[in-house]
Structure 1
Amino acid sequence: MPDTPLEFKPDWPDARRRHEAWWRHEVVDRVALQVTAPRNDAAQQTVPEPRDLAQRWTDPEYAIAAAEARMAATYYGGEAFPIYVPNLGPDVFAAYLGSPLEYGEDTTWSVPIVRDWRTHPPLCLDPENRWWQLTLEMTRLAVERSQGRYLVGLTDVHSGIDALAALRDPTALCFDLYDCPDAVQAAVQAIIPVWFQIYEDPRRLIWAADPDHGTSTWLPVWSPGRCYPVSCDFAALISPVMFRQFILPHLRAEVEWLDHAIFHLDGPDAIRHLDILFELPEIRAIQWVPGTGSGSSMLRWLPLLRRIQAAGRGLHLSVSATEVLPLLRELSPEGLMLSTNCRTEEEARALLRATYGETHDSRASK
């Protein structure tokens, strides 16, 4: 039910209302702020270490138990909320389409299988695919375990050109854009309906248990309908002309189908595509990630952030706790969501209290 608290988030009904207001670029009573910290007096829950990387990635019982232990030890302040997201790594879409997955400590990566788009078998989802069945199994188990305690999210799926890059190899795909552009575009079109299925089947499992659950993902923004952080990391390698030719079609199909879409803009090399993204009114917000080597301060990106707000788009920014109030003084709180963490629950609560006054001061000065 919409007004039902969660075990790990007693004020979840209030947070839901602020998430809904954020999508509308409205402010309820303060800026949308997600702040986490170690929870006071949290009972220690010990989860045995996985025996190997295979168990770490493919054992649903282990993955969910580890997530529940983290959630039990975490204070979720403001619009932060507890969520388990089935995670097999960012290349799992390619794995659904036949690529083997290799395990690392912190991620997985796919082994390319496409040698030539013109001769490769049609791209489709085998319902019995090992990784697809594992995703559904993780989702089912999490739904059973989560009721009244935490949310269950949709897995991280890099679609479109990103999926093709994982199937082929990013460098090889760059050459393909010149050597066989029609075959690449045909492959992109072929996997658009696959993305819809990959989204819908787990969503139905989640909503069947709780029709008011809404959706969320690896990016912890919540929507009462279908939402997703659409993205294209491959865009950093190509020009705006190629972005429009190879990426815009599948991006448009995704955002027009979703109820709420946010774009994951990753790194300075992606900024050149921003004006094309602004052509899609369905993209309601931008998550800006400066990327490795771009410095840790979000304040250096104020011109970009103001440009995004001037285009009528919301912002989701992961920042240090010390930059929350300075950013609030420089940006409009409407459509702004800041995500941070603090060393203690007391610091997190104090930061939340401070945002009330800063929000009103910021609105008065704009």
Structure 2
Amino acid sequence: MLTAEQKLELHHAYWNKQELPRPLIGYQVGSQLISENFIPARKLLESPQQVTPEMIVVEEYYDDYQRMYEDSLKIEQEAFWAAVPFPGIPWIEAILGCPIYSTDGSFWAKPCYDDINQIELYLDQRNPWLEKLLEFTEKLVEFSQHRFPVGQPILRGPADLLGALLGQEKMVYAFYDHPETVKRLAQDATRVFIEVVKLIRERIPPFYDGYSFGWYPLWAPDKCLIFQEDLMALGSPAIYRQFFYECDRMISKAYTFTTIHVHPNSFFIVEDLIAIKDLKVIEINYDLGGPPIKEIIPLLLRILEKKCLILRGILKETDLEVIKKELPCRGLFLHIVVPDLHRGEELNKFINELYQIDEINT
């Protein structure tokens, strides 16, 4: 197994885009339905119901974090496993007023505005959902006892936030009926997003003189953040540039190391993302039912020309063979989702044989 010092060397090599024996690898063990990996969340999912902050008791989640941490030590990987505040909750949507409901293995935010002109976006420091998020962060830091880093949970960007607050259909109409209002609210949502991340990061100490992104177990030499614009799947390149491109530039400048999460149905924004100088990493989600690895290789190569890359998803042996043949190892991080430890160990053995290495080293 790699020592912490060896992992740090490999991460520095990743950021410097140096050639490596194999891509950096981190494993997510368990269900793809995030909430199902946490036993206390299951009782909230047993029947559809509204979820409120007091229903989430942080200490009840400790056993799951301990199990995930111990599992991470059993699989050879370059990643430092990171704890994040329960990632199933749409935190910022809740903070901005959306009622949160449980259904079908996950949690969702119900729109809370009928008219875009009713929306006012600002951060109330006394909001119970914000207080719960910060409490969760602080208690995870205490629970970690410096054994593992604490990072940022999934937080959605301005397009996703407006879609949650207003409803997706109404947001699309608003692009045409209220463009100036959309621009203003997108900027307001961006400021709220940055402030929420700032409050989280203020509570997280360094880990080996750096920080973990969190949801992606990638270590960085300085503070970092993750964001996404999944609802751009309802837009177009022109709509993205008109309403959200400048927002994403603002978010990307907020910290030294930033990454955006992108699904195949939003690939049309990737070229614009590559143009954002301060954006360090683009994460491509390899979706079930999406295009096969062979079809997205040109896009991945284009990203690697200018940025570092995270490729995340359920990767099979045939996918890994294509990656080995077509992609360089420099600047490439594979975040592989596996159902259990056995599958992780099986894939790790396959990857080492594929790259013809006996062990990971620099």
User: Residue 278 of structure 1 corresponds to which residue in structure 2?
Assistant: 274
Range with bigger deviation, 327-336 or 16-25: 16-25
Matches within 5 A, 1:281-296: 281-294=277-290
Is the contact made by 2:152 and 2:226 (CA closer than 8 Å) also made in structure 1? no
User: Residue 3 of structure 1 corresponds to which residue in structure 2?
Assistant: none
User: Residue 363 of structure 1 corresponds to which residue in structure 2?
Assistant: none
Matches within 5 A, 1:29-178: 29-35=21-27, 51-53=43-45, 58-74=56-72, 75-89=74-88, 91-104=90-103, 106-120=105-119, 122-178=120-176
Partner AA of 1:313 in structure 2: K
CA distance in 1, matches of 2:55, 2:300: 36
CA distance in 2, matches of 1:119, 1:349: 52
Question: Aligned to 2:293, which of 298, 302, 312?
Answer: 298
User: Residue 183 of structure 1 corresponds to which residue in structure 2?
Assistant: 181
CA distance in 1, matches of 2:146, 2:334: 26
Is the contact made by 2:309 and 2:331 (CA closer than 8 Å) also made in structure 1? yes
Give the gaps of 5 or more residues in structure 1: 1-8, 39-45, 360-366
Measured against aligned partners, the alpha-carbon deviations of 1:155-211 in whole angstroms (never above 9, x if no partner) come to 21102111111111111100011111111111111222222221111211112x768
User: Residue 5 of structure 1 corresponds to which residue in structure 2?
Assistant: none
> Against the structure 1 CA distance between its residues 56 and 153, is the aligned structure 2 distance closer, same or farther, given a 3 Å change threshold?
farther
Range with bigger deviation, 220-229 or 239-248: 220-229
Partner AA of 1:26 in structure 2: Q
Is the contact made by 2:151 and 2:211 (CA closer than 8 Å) also made in structure 1? no
User: Residue 206 of structure 1 corresponds to which residue in structure 2?
Assistant: 204
Measured against aligned partners, the alpha-carbon deviations of 1:262-312 in whole angstroms (never above 9, x if no partner) come to 221212x312222211211222332112434225x4234222222323x42
Secondary structure of 2:209 counterpart: coil
User: Residue 332 of structure 1 corresponds to which residue in structure 2?
Assistant: 328
Secondary structure of 2:161 counterpart: helix
User: Residue 315 of structure 2 corresponds to which residue in structure 1?
Assistant: 320
Give the % identical residues. 24
User: Residue 307 of structure 1 corresponds to which residue in structure 2?
Assistant: 302
Is the contact made by 2:151 and 2:212 (CA closer than 8 Å) also made in structure 1? yes
Question: Aligned to 1:16, which of 8, 20, 27?
Answer: 8
Is the contact made by 2:261 and 2:282 (CA closer than 8 Å) also made in structure 1? yes
User: Residue 346 of structure 2 corresponds to which residue in structure 1?
Assistant: 347
CA distance in 1, matches of 2:57, 2:187: 33
Superposition deviation, residue 90 in structure 1: 5.8
Give the gaps of 5 or more residues in structure 2: 31-37, 46-50
Is the contact made by 2:310 and 2:332 (CA closer than 8 Å) also made in structure 1? yes
Secondary structure of 1:286 counterpart: strand
Is the contact made by 1:102 and 1:111 (CA closer than 8 Å) also made in structure 2? yes
Secondary structure of 1:153 counterpart: coil
Partner AA of 2:306 in structure 1: G
Measured against aligned partners, the alpha-carbon deviations of 1:4-47 in whole angstroms (never above 9, x if no partner) come to xxxxx872332222223212222355432234779xxxxxxx97
Partner AA of 1:332 in structure 2: P
Superposition deviation, residue 233 in structure 1: 0.6
Superposition deviation, residue 91 in structure 1: 2.9
Superposition deviation, residue 68 in structure 1: 1.3
Measured against aligned partners, the alpha-carbon deviations of 1:301-349 in whole angstroms (never above 9, x if no partner) come to 222222323x422221135251334412211111111233462675355
Q: RMSD value over aligned CA atoms?
A: 2.9
> Against the structure 1 CA distance between its residues 276 and 249, is the aligned structure 2 distance closer, same or farther, given a 3 Å change threshold?
same
Q: TM-score, normalised by structure 2?
A: 0.83
Superposition deviation, residue 148 in structure 1: 3.1
Q: Is 1:250 the equivalent of 2:247?
A: yes
CA distance in 2, matches of 1:160, 1:50: 29
Secondary structure of 1:84 counterpart: coil
> Against the structure 1 CA distance between its residues 105 and 145, is the aligned structure 2 distance closer, same or farther, given a 3 Å change threshold?
farther
User: Residue 41 of structure 1 corresponds to which residue in structure 2?
Assistant: none
Q: TM-score, normalised by structure 1?
A: 0.82
CA distance in 2, matches of 1:145, 1:254: 29
Secondary structure of 1:152 counterpart: coil
Partner AA of 1:67 in structure 2: Y
> Against the structure 1 CA distance between its residues 164 and 250, is the aligned structure 2 distance closer, same or farther, given a 3 Å change threshold?
same
Range with bigger deviation, 131-140 or 217-226: 217-226
